[in-house]
Chains A and B, each alone.
Chain A
Amino acid sequence: MIEFKNVVKQYPNGFRAVDNLNLLVHEGEICVLIGPSGCGKTTSMRMINRLIDISSGEILINGQPNTELPAEELRRQIGYAIQQIGLLPHMTISDNIAIVPRLLKWDEDRIRTRVDELLDLVGLDPDISRDKFPRQLSGGQQQRVGVARALGADPPIMLMDEPFGAVDPITREVLQAEFLQIQERVGKTIIFVTHDIDEAIKMGDRIAIMRDGHLVQYDTPDTILAHPNNRFVRDFVGTDRTLKRLGLIRIKNLMDASPPTCTLDSTVEEAKQCFVDYGAKSVFIVDKDDGTLKGWVDKEELKTNTSLLDAMYEAHWVDIAVRQDATAREALSAMVARGFRVTPVVDRHGKLVGTITLKALQDLVSYDPTSTATTEAVSNVG
């Protein structure tokens, strides 16, 4: 847990880089500091491990002021990864990762095991990369080593200043996803500085938006997207924040899990009864044995046809359904493209598990504070 209490950073020329910052970062969470350049986000981060001195106020780490330990000792207990990576070019990869453990005087055997473990964790083969020098690695690999080095002595807290900033967008996406997986396992308390709102939404458990040294809003990504405090936040998160919000939500948390269903061998009568029961305009047809989606039938069609098979629109599930682990944003995209108001939701094998309506998506992102769907759906993300 990291707590900023009335923290001020004022330079001799009177400029206040950080002005009276109060912020509470919870244990095991990723807190993203974001804002336009010069907003004080990096300064705030660097005050935690005292790379920059605080002018007034204090920062508490697990309740203890961070000025209690000598600065060097404090820093050895806090992981540190930066955009430029800063690997030492004259040391091998294993020596780079071993820097903090060596500073902490671990014994060599323990260090060797730890290095291999970390290389594995970040997806590098220890046998291949251990003795290489940084310049022999690609940019993405170097970033991975940077993360591994920050994790070196297993610090409870990590400071990351645009740690994936120096690679191409595709590699960045991969690294972000991998890092989230790692975080799931290690559960560090992380201060993550970025200027990329998409990265913030993706990585952050909470986002702290800063401007001119002030904290403008500190909330979960969804709350920030749904209820921006003011015009600045609204502009900063972008005009497509509705879509960005949808990108945060998985369909399985949003769908109606009891879809109107008939099996392939149902009679027309049974199907009619189904329309009555569900009050729906369409009923989905599934395979009797494995529940795979086979097509759907509209109410009007049943009036003219005597057989369900004649009345139904047959289609492969890939073409008409969305997967339950897709994001709401992807579902919306599919529905807009196909012109559906209701879309079936399937699992990986094509088994029908629910339906999602366009209205549900609209309700989700409409700014009606009484809408409960939002919080419920979001609280299930994970």
Chain B
Amino acid sequence: MTAAFGFFFLPLLEIKPNRLASGITVNLFEIEGDLRYIALFLLALIALAISFQEKRLQRGWTLVALGNLLIFLTLLLPANAATDLLDGAASLFEEGTRFSNPRIFTSSAIAFGLLGGYIVLFGGLRDLVAEKVNSGVRLFASAIGVIFVLIALFNGSFDIYSILVEFSQRGETLGQRFIEHFVFVLVSLAAGLIIGIALGLWAARDERMEDIILYAVGIIQTIPSLALFGVLLVPLARLGDQSFVNVFQFFIVTLIIGLVVLFFVSRIQGTLPESLRPWAIIIAFVMLFIPVALFTILAITFGFKTVLNVFLDPALSQTLTLVFAGYVLAVLVFWLDRRLDEKRSIRRLRYVRYGLTALATVGFIGLLFSGASQIIGSRQLADISVRNLGVSGIGTAPAIIALTLYSLLPLVRNTYAGLKNVDPAIIDSGRGMGMTPAQIFFEIELPLAVPIIMAGIRNAGISLVGIAAVASIIGAGALGDFILLGVNTTSVDLILLGAIPAIVLAVMLDAILQMLERLFTSPGIRREA
């Protein structure tokens, strides 16, 4: 009811003489045209749905159709009306109003229209669920409206709306920002995965480190991202000024010192008094922390630059598509293999899968190398400064490092929980049968922890999409650029232009990861079925 009321009486469209000035709003009844007849038609559909009160299946389908129609029409019809509105715009405003790029904005009634559409749609879907309609059919039925909207979108039907005007002006930048955003998430997730699984494994294996590691990643998560950027600013700027050779020498020296201290400490551990032992270990770790952190910072930043380069360079991105296709194919073969294997067929497909994966991986490594070499260019080793590798106080370096740090909590915690969750009796039986520690890890612990680790990856991935948007504040690019610009110019459309792709990215990422999770989880330990 509220939705219907909102749709009929709140402003439907807003017209502004230019991007900044306030505009004039129009509601449904003030628009000339066929809208009233269509509204009548919709009312008839509602009546039809009500008339099926007793037959749940028919009512369900009618409501689904009605919902889809509402969603589609809510967006389409005002667009038609808007063209007229824009033509007669001059007459609506006072004399002397300055016109430059008059815009049509979607207004609050549209949101209510969509809300109403979805309420009706979900009402219908509930009926269909109760009638045990196949879930695939239901998914398709609920997507019809969106599909039509997308068709209309590509057909140009919505070009009149301001957000699409913005899009047509900034489409290319948007694509680039989208890729940046994606690469941010991808690289930080990959780096976080390596560090997170290592730390999670460490926490699960070493009781002394358990609390320290879990507290540490928990504390990182509580630092506001802006503060983290600030903290990283000065050291990274200083680091960026150094020449690469110097930093590398420093790295080697600190690494050797750290290792020597660790070796020494572990040797004299037994002779030290009880109270000093933990401190000795802590000192050794602090010594090692310096080179390890340095290496991590350089690796992640340079890795990010490289991957971004691979994505954005036209020649490289073409190869990347091929590599990606190779991986997708390998996954498909893996799935097929699983399917056939369940029916006790031969496992020959395995070799095809290995071949494809190997090929794609070789391609991918090659891509990374060419991407990396492009960044370094023709510089001599002595001339390379750390800044050339992408490390600087603001921009991508602090952003990617912060993102990696933020990804750690779910990854470490879930890896830890997944490994701790494995029944000790299962590990004992594996040991008793003569499996080596490596076999126990890869064939027992890891497969059993996969569902929980994958849940952590999904969790981290989605939150990273959100946090990556904040990284624009320090000039790191990505979709946050649009959002920031939109906030600064109070332009809702620009904010949406940044936000919608980010949402799409998050949903897509989650869907893909969920698919992979299902694929890599044995049916023997799947939650359902």
Contacts from A to B (Cβ < 8 Å): 49, 51, 71-77, 80, 82, 84-92, 99-100, 103, 131, 133-135, 149, 152, 159
Contacts and interface: CB of A to CB of B under 8 A. Distances in A.
B433 A80 contact: yes
A51 B448 contact: no
Interface centre among B344, B431, B444, B448 (most CB of A within 10 A): B431
Interface stretch (B257-265, B273-281, B518-526): B518-526
B436 interface: yes
B433 A103 contact: yes
A296 B528 CA distance: 68
Contact of B436 (A72, A86, A90): A72
B444 A88 contact: yes
A72 B435 contact: yes
Interface stretch (B203-211, B285-293, B421-429): B421-429
A131 B432 contact: no
A86 B433 CA distance: 11
Nearest to A83: B425
A97 to B, nearest CB: 11
A73 B429 CA distance: 15
Contacts of A103: 433-435, 439
A49 B525 contact: no
Nearest to A99: B433
A84 B423 contact: yes
Given A91-B522, A133-B524, A74 B434 contact: yes
Interface residues of B, number: 25
Interface centre among A71, A86, A91, A133 (most CB of B within 10 A): A86
A85 B524 contact: no
Contact of A76 (B429, B433, B447, B525): B433
A82 B429 contact: yes
B525 A90 contact: yes
Interface in B390-448: 423, 425-436, 439, 443-444, 447-448
A191 to B, nearest CB: 12
A131 B448 CA distance: 18
B429 A90 contact: no
Contact of A91 (B425, B435, B524): B524
Contacts of A92: 524
- Give 4 closest A-B pairs by Cβ, nearest first: A86-B429, A133-B524, A84-B425, A90-B522
A86 B423 contact: yes
Interface centre among A71, A85, A91 (most CB of B within 10 A): A91
B342 interface: yes
Interface string B501-516: 0000000000000000
23 contacts: A51-B428, A71-B434, A75-B433, A82-B432, A84-B425, A84-B428, A85-B425, A86-B426, A86-B428, A86-B432, A87-B426, A87-B429, A88-B430, A88-B444, A89-B524, A90-B447, A92-B524, A100-B433, A103-B439, A131-B342, A131-B344, A135-B525, A149-B433
Contacts of A76: 433-434
A92 B523 CA distance: 9
A44 B448 CA distance: 30
Interface in B461-493: none
Contacts of B434: 71-77, 100, 103
A51 B432 contact: yes
A49 B524 contact: no
Given A73-B434, A90-B448, A100-B434, A80 B342 contact: no
B423 A51 contact: no
A89 B426 contact: yes
A135 B525 CA distance: 8
A99 B429 CA distance: 11
Nearest to B451: A90
Given A71-B434, A88-B448, A89-B426, 15 more contacts: A72-B435, A75-B433, A82-B428, A86-B426, A86-B429, A88-B429, A88-B430, A90-B447, A90-B448, A100-B434, A103-B439, A131-B344, A133-B523, A133-B524, A159-B432
B448 to A, nearest CB: 6
Contacts of B428: 51, 82, 84, 86
Interface in B303-353: 342, 344
Contacts of B432: 49, 51, 75, 80, 82, 86, 159
B435 A135 contact: no
A66 to B, nearest CB: 13
Given A86-B423, A88-B426, A89-B448, A135 B524 contact: yes
Interface centre among B429, B435, B448 (most CB of A within 10 A): B429
A75 B523 contact: no
Nearest to B429: A86
Nearest to A132: B524
A51 B430 CA distance: 11
Contacts of A85: 425, 429
B199 to A, nearest CB: 24
A197 B91 CA distance: 102
B424 to A, nearest CB: 9
A134 B525 CA distance: 9
Interface in B130-151: none
Interface centre among A51, A72, A135 (most CB of B within 10 A): A72
B524 A90 contact: yes
B438 to A, nearest CB: 10
A235 B431 CA distance: 36
Contacts of B429: 80, 82, 84-88
A6 B425 CA distance: 29
B425 A82 contact: yes
Nearest to B448: A90
Contacts of A99: 430, 433, 435
Contacts of B426: 86-89
Nearest to A73: B434
Contacts of B525: 89-90, 133, 135
A92 B430 CA distance: 15
Contacts of A135: 524-525
Nearest to B444: A88
A52 to B, nearest CB: 11
A100 B429 CA distance: 11
Contacts of B447: 90
Nearest to B523: A133
A76 B434 CA distance: 5
Interface centre among B342, B431, B432, B435 (most CB of A within 10 A): B432
A51 B431 contact: yes
A162 to B, nearest CB: 12
Nearest to B437: A72
Contacts of B521: 90
A75 B428 CA distance: 12
A108 to B, nearest CB: 9
B448 A75 contact: no
Interface in B153-169: none
A100 B434 CA distance: 7
A51 B427 CA distance: 12
A88 B434 CA distance: 14
A88 B439 CA distance: 13
B431 A75 contact: yes
B433 to A, nearest CB: 5
Contacts of A131: 342, 344
A88 B445 CA distance: 10
Contacts of B448: 88-90
Interface centre among A88, A131, A133, A135 (most CB of B within 10 A): A88
A72 B440 CA distance: 12
A149 B433 CA distance: 9
Interface centre among B423, B426, B443, B523 (most CB of A within 10 A): B426
A100 to B, nearest CB: 5
Interface string B447-459: 1100000000000
A303 B431 CA distance: 78
A34 B25 CA distance: 89
Nearest to A82: B429
A86 B425 contact: yes
Interface centre among B423, B436, B444, B524 (most CB of A within 10 A): B524
A119 to B, nearest CB: 14
